[in-house]
Amino acid sequence: MNVSFPSRQVVFLSSVDWDAAWQRHHIFASQWAAKDHEVFFLENTGFRAPGMADLPRLRRRLARLLYRGPSQAGMARAPQGLRLVSPAVLPPIPGPGRALNRWLLVPALVRRLRALGLRAQPLIFAYLPSPTTLDILDELKAGFVVYDCVDNFHGLPFKPQDLGRIESGLLSRSDLVLTTSRTLWEDKADKHSNVLELHHGAGPGFFLPPGKTDYRRFCYFGTVWSALDYQPIKALAEAGFSIDLIGPQKEPPPSLPERVRLLPPLPYHELPAKLSEYDGLLLPYAFNEYNRGVLPAKFYDCLATGKPVLASRLPAIELFSEAVYLARTPDEWVRAARGLEQSETPRRREARVALARENTHERMFSKLSSWIGNLWQAKIKRDSRESRQ
């Protein structure tokens, strides 16, 4: 990294916990730590009112907060150079909880960060457009703020009614806005002067050697929840294909045919070996407002394997129609799977892998650090000129 950074401290205001399925938050945080930055990773501060499905996560959070040893709760789970913090705040639903966060719990959280060594003017990555995020940003007085917009929050059915106002507040506090798809970029481009599209990259372990295949076994890996379209999964199973769904169950799936297996989640570094067992990979997402902005986090990981990828015809995925097999109806999914023996060629495999190599984790981080370094230096010069006027 050749860019100079005014601060070597980085704070992540995450939308996930550290032990959740491995995502962009974890990758970026680990990369900054590996580049000799001191990283503070604040786990999920909440976006909505918790439900029954959140009870296991809330129990884990409570257990971490109750531990008060010489190291911070759960520190043993973190890589070297990264401090994990389980924030003791309330869900930011309208009402007294927001006021309690603002006047009591967030200041206590910031004092806790200061006690852990956080100094003034850090680089901050914010993932949740929530009142809690705004309160933390105001207390911390960042040197540079990145709003890493990885979700189409406006497409969620449980979004707060004042989400537009809250996100506007986050945009006004941000120096750079990142989006993970072209559709999200289009949503934000006219709302901020620095909006850049930066996809999720491919992990180095996902570049698999080619193997023999008969195109009968397919796999989806990732969270199992309502964002998935189960109709093509059912259709493929009923047509004689074997389907495995690997990942945590955020919401229980509907009744599925016997040829569909639900397998537990695997650590990110163990996934490539498992994926080598399959003939192809699936990205079966439902057509709804939330998924309109989705380019799946696993997209380049899937391409890196070289295996054929069958995907829903979502706007962000359609831009890569030459790299994947797009389908909309269950019949189209079945025809695409049955046609792989004729349509798959070494050239198509090589093209997928080449695209993944252009978009690895390391390349994405190189772009990111360069953007931030240059914008941050420009901000300092601009602020200096204004202070002299």
- What is the reported pLDDT for 172? 98
Judge whether 4 lies within some domain.
Answer: no
Judge whether 288 lies within some domain.
Answer: yes
Assess whether 56 and 153 both reside in one domain: yes
Assess whether 139 and 125 both reside in one domain: yes
- Global confidence as pTM: 0.90
Task: Name the DSSP class of 249.
Answer: B
- What is the reported pLDDT for 385? 85
If one counts the domains in the chain, the total is: 2
Assess whether 213 and 353 both reside in one domain: yes
Structure confidence by residue, pLDDT tens digits, 314-351: 999 999 999 999 999 999 999 999 999 999 999 999 99
Judge whether 2 lies within some domain.
Answer: no
- What is the reported pLDDT for 53? 53
Site of tokens 């890196």? 304
Assess whether 301 and 364 both reside in one domain: no
- What is the reported pLDDT for 157? 82
Q: Which domain holds residue 374?
A: 9-201+360-388
Judge whether 281 lies within some domain.
Answer: yes
Structure confidence by residue, pLDDT tens digits, 170-181: 999 999 999 999
Assess whether 212 and 338 both reside in one domain: yes
Assess whether 351 and 332 both reside in one domain: yes
Residues 175 and 261: their CA atoms lie apart, in Å, by 45
Rg for the chain, CA atoms, rounded: 22
Q: How far is CA 345 from the centre of its chain?
A: 32
38's enclosing H/E stretch is strand 38-42
Assess whether 173 and 234 both reside in one domain: no
Residues 217 and 214: their CA atoms lie apart, in Å, by 8
262's enclosing H/E stretch is strand 260-263
Assess whether 66 and 25 both reside in one domain: yes
Assess whether 350 and 381 both reside in one domain: no
Q: Give me the residues of the chain with pLDDT under 70, please.
A: 1-3, 48-77, 389
Q: How many CA atoms lie within 13 A of 327 on its CB side?
A: 24
Assess whether 380 and 334 both reside in one domain: no
Assess whether 45 and 188 both reside in one domain: yes
Structure confidence by residue, pLDDT tens digits, 3-15: 678 999 999 999 9
Judge whether 1 lies within some domain.
Answer: no
Judge whether 31 lies within some domain.
Answer: yes
Judge whether 253 lies within some domain.
Answer: yes
Q: What is the CATH number of the domain that holds 330?
A: 3.40.50.2000
Judge whether 319 lies within some domain.
Answer: yes
Assess whether 186 and 278 both reside in one domain: no
Provide the 3-class DSSP secondary structure of residue 122.
Answer: coil
Q: Which has the closest alpha carbon to 132: 179, 71, 87, 196?
A: 87
Which residues are within 8 A (CB) of 142 and not within 5 positions of it... i.e. 6 or more apart? 11, 121, 122, 123, 124
- What is the reported pLDDT for 310? 98
Cβ count near 255 (within 10 Å): 8
